[in-house]
Structure 1
Amino acid sequence: MSVSFFSGSTSFKQQWPFISERLDQIIDDGKFTNGPTVQELERKLENFTGAKHCIAVGNATDALMIMLRAAGVGIGDEVIVPCYSFFASASSIAHVGATPVFCDIDPSTYTIDVEQIEHQITQRTKAIMPVHLFTQMADMTVIRQIAERHNLLVLEDSAEAISMFHEGKHAGRLGNAGVISFFPTKTLGAIGDAGLILTDDDTIADQARLLRIHGQNEGVPYIHQRVGYNSRMDDIQAAILIVRLEFLQQEIARRAYLAALYNRKLANISQVHTPLIKKRGDETANAVYYVYLLETEQRDDLVAYLTQHGIGTEVYYPFPLHTQPCFSHLGYQEGDMPHAEQAARRAVGLPMYPDMTDEQVDEVCEQIHLFFAKGDE
């Protein structure tokens, strides 16, 4: 039995009648970009997240850049960011003219090591950008305390964190602003690129709306207050997301069920480490399994074996950001971030999506068992 790393075809086909009805309306109205369906999505996501403002944009990378610029981050500033994340977490900082200052990660959660943050603060530090990665949020209580002590912005890369909460607040609302990604593989996915900025700050929201449409005020074309971006969300993607939002909680529950299956079936393999959901204070993070991440010293051999047997995987992230050639001028060396570098050598994502069947999880786990059994022979 082959098992792809990701497939959303079954759930999408089930949702298609609802989506089709909305697409027909968009075609009839002729409003295809940043139109009424996008505005409806923004209102629904404001209700869902509790955010005062949700600003839909073309993708989450644009969302990060627009968020940074809207918050006033620019040339000469430094932004503290974990070095184990998707490239856009750092490239967005560079794109606005600021400098990413890298931190190592907590090896159990893959989020920024809060004990390192204050050591990285300088007179040029403008913001901390925690990344909520894979299943749970960074330690926002400590991060906010540090930011308050040093008068810093907190701008959350919450791209993967739809429906993650801390102390009753949705991810992206614990600091000054945050973002969400709707890339097709995400927990709430479109069928193309789409992203969102969320904030309770009126000024950041106003600037974000300005920046997403070439720096012009909405409804006042051809007068450009700033040099902005062409980052409007398509109404087609908004229609799909409105429908899929209605199914989000049951899909998150399915992901949790699949993760529990994985945990149980892989528990007795000593060579692997399954995800740890970390308790902070009196609160246990509400895990949302965007990715089911496994760690093993034999990662590359395991990936090759699973590929040979028709099972898809994804290596997260084989090259930490501080080792990327484009950031070599910053002077980081291999060995500077040992926890991130270990994860880069050991971590692999297994198939995890609501369309997965119990039998597919069985197949993945059986092949992992067979791989390690061969190694023990």
Structure 2
Amino acid sequence: MIPFFSQAATFEELWPLIERHVGEVFDSGKFSHGQQVERLERAVAAYTGARHVVGVNSGTDALVLLLRACGLRPGDGVLVPAYSFVSTATSVVLAGGRPQFVDIDPATYAMDPDALERAVTETSRFVMPAHLFCQMADMAALSEVAARRGLVLLEDSAEGIGMRQRGVHAGLHGVGGVLSFFPSKTLGALGDAGAVLTDDAALAERVAGLRHHGRPGPTLNDFPRIATETAVPGVNSKMDDIQAAVLLAKLTHLDRDIARRDELARAYRERLDGLPGVVRLPEVGDGAPGDARVFYVCLVEVERRDALVEHLAREGIGTEVYYPTPLHLQPCFAYLGHRAGDFPHAEAASGRAVALPLYPDLTLDQVDRVCEAVRAFLTGTAAPTPAAAPAAPAAGTITATATVGRTL
């Protein structure tokens, strides 16, 4: 079996350091938003160059709290890509706004600046591109449109740890951005965790209050002073110190892990290049000076994507489909009135894109096996499926979202 994601070897190597950090949590007796969280916030700030980092309990909450802290009003339009994980748009709804979808640039899978220009309406107040898979949106072009049209620029940089454009880290090209530390992310915890990045001290302070029921004060060390004070209605979105302890340990190997992910992506490209039915392979290399790609996943576009996924599942190879239903066609956004054909580039990617296993624990021998299975399918040399054997579901396939929900 080759799972879509595993970090067993990583944790075995890092366990002594993780154990020490976790032991400090138990010794302190403070398990939520304590010293380990503060240490992580400082370490992530140093790594990204952000002046302020605010740890929260998930990447989704980071988006919601960022939007709220920026003053999103009920009904404000937030321009988001039509192709992304559903939280890019549901966070807008949860914060009280109205998603306004924009088609993507097929070269980056991110918001197309020209499409953004056409999508702005009288109710548009924010624009929030998402950086997906291995590279960032064209932030220079998007920033120019946002400035000219009077839009507040935010970034769904949940996948963006380590990504840079013109020397600036993802999440810091506009007013603020976010990180997700979901376990499979480039820097992943043992459960959910996230953070808001910003250079704006006042914005960071508002997010810090909102994550703790609206109470002012940057840390819970201020608890005696703020125990009975609530400035605005907030939520319980504090980061657990156990997750912060794990992330602090894994942060020491982040650059090494990023380099390993790049090596694996290059191997995939070399082995799959030129195969029939391959529409697109991952771009490798950092691009322009000051840019840095980071391979969160290895995404390929192929004809007969769903059949390939079923074939790989039968071969014991995990995949993830990104994303089988574009955002404008998700049931939870049916009230916006979009139909198939409204955002053709997003719909094309949704029908062809699949992510192959890619994580630091993966070996080159395993990459060879994945590529051999892909080659056998695309060249028609794979063994036929027995009639009595139903196709196994794709591991980790992301499905449609019917309602908008969150964890408090």
TM-score range, shorter chain: over 0.9
Asked if the contact 1:162–1:188 (Cα under 8 Å) also holds between the matched residues in 2, the reply is: yes
In structure 2, the residue matched to 1:346 is 352
RMSD: 1.5
Structure 1 CA distance for aligned equivalents of residues 319 and 290 of structure 2: 28
By how many angstroms is 1:286 displaced?
A: 1.6
Amino acid paired to 1:275: P
**In the TM superposition, what whole-angstrom CA distance separates every residue of 1:285-322 from its partner, at most 9, and x where no partner exists?**
42100010011111011001000010000000000000
Which stretch has the larger CA shift, 291-300 or 116-125?
A: 116-125
User: What does 1:227-376 align with in structure 2 at a 5 Å threshold?
Assistant: 227-272=233-278, 273-276=280-283, 282-283=288-289, 285-374=291-380
3-state SS of 1:374 partner: coil
In 2: Cα distance, 1:226 partner to 1:71 partner: 13
Alignment match, 2:52: 53
Equivalent-residue separation in structure 2 for 1:284 and 1:239 (angstroms): 31
Q: Contact conserved, 1:78 with 1:99, CA < 8 A, in 2? A: yes
* CA shift digits 1:256-305 (9 cap, x unpaired): 0001110000012031121136987x547421000100111110110010
Structure-2 change in CA distance of 1:301 and 1:186 (3 Å)? same
The CA distance in 2 between the partners of 1:54 and 1:90, in whole Å, is 23
- Does the 8 Å contact 1:277/1:284 carry over to 2? no
Tell me what 1:134 maps to: 133
Equivalence map 1:14-29=2 (5 Å) = 14-29=13-28
The whole-number CA distance in structure 1 between the counterparts of 2:71 and 2:355 is 36
- Counterpart residue number, 1:31: 30
Report deviation, 1:107.
Answer: 1.1
Cα gap change, 1:278 to 1:21, in 2 (>3 Å) = closer
Residue 370 to residue 316, structure 1, CA distance change in 2 (3 Å): same
Structure 2-normalised TM-score? 0.90
Distance 2:230 2:204 in 1: 17
Q: 1:109·1:277 contact (CA, 8 Å) conserved in 2?
A: no
Cα deviation, residue 375, structure 1: 6.5
Inter-partner Cα distance in structure 1 for 2:285 and 2:140: 14
CA–CA distance in structure 2, aligned partners of residues 147 and 105 of structure 1: 16
Please give the per-residue CA displacement for 1:37-75, whole angstroms capped at 9, x wherever unaligned: 100110111111111110000000000000000011120
Give unpaired runs (5+ residues) of structure 2: 384-408
- 1:324 and 1:278, CA in 2 relative to 1: closer, same or farther beyond 3 A? farther
Distance 2:155 2:367 in 1: 33
- Residue 110 of structure 2 aligns to a residue whose secondary structure is coil
For 1:266, give the aligned amino acid: L
In 2 relative to 1, CA 254–327 (structure 1 residues): closer, same or farther, beyond 3 Å? Answer: same
1:101 & 1:25 partners in 2: Cα distance? 45
Q: Deviations over 1:103-159 (max 9, x none)?
A: 111112101111111111122111110100000000000111111112211110000
Aligned to 1:286, what secondary structure does the other structure show?
coil
- Does the Cα contact within 8 Å between 1:60 and 1:181 map onto a contact in 2? yes
Give the fraction of aligned pairs with identical amino acids, expressed as a percent. Answer: 47
Gaps of 5+ in 1: none
Q: CA deviation at 1:222?
A: 2.5
**TM-score after normalising by structure 1:** 0.97
For 1:284 and 1:227, how far apart are their aligned partners in 2?
40
Q: CA separation in 1, counterparts of 2:207 and 2:252?
A: 27
- Separation of aligned partners in 1, 2:307 and 2:337: 32
- Kept in 2, the 8 Å contact 1:211–1:228? The answer is yes
SS for the counterpart of 1:144 is: helix
Q: Which amino acid aligns with 2:243?
A: Q
Q: Contact (CA 8 Å) 2:275, 2:379: kept in 1 or not?
A: no
Give the C-alpha shift of residue 76 in structure 1: 2.2
Q: Secondary structure at the match of 1:237?
A: helix
| Aligned-partner Cα distance in 2 for 1:23–1:313 | 32
1:50 and 1:372 map into 2 onto residues whose CA distance is 44
Give runs of ≥4 in structure 1 deviating > 2 Å: 276-280, 282-285
Inter-partner Cα distance in structure 1 for 2:344 and 2:77: 22
The aligned counterpart of 2:402 is none
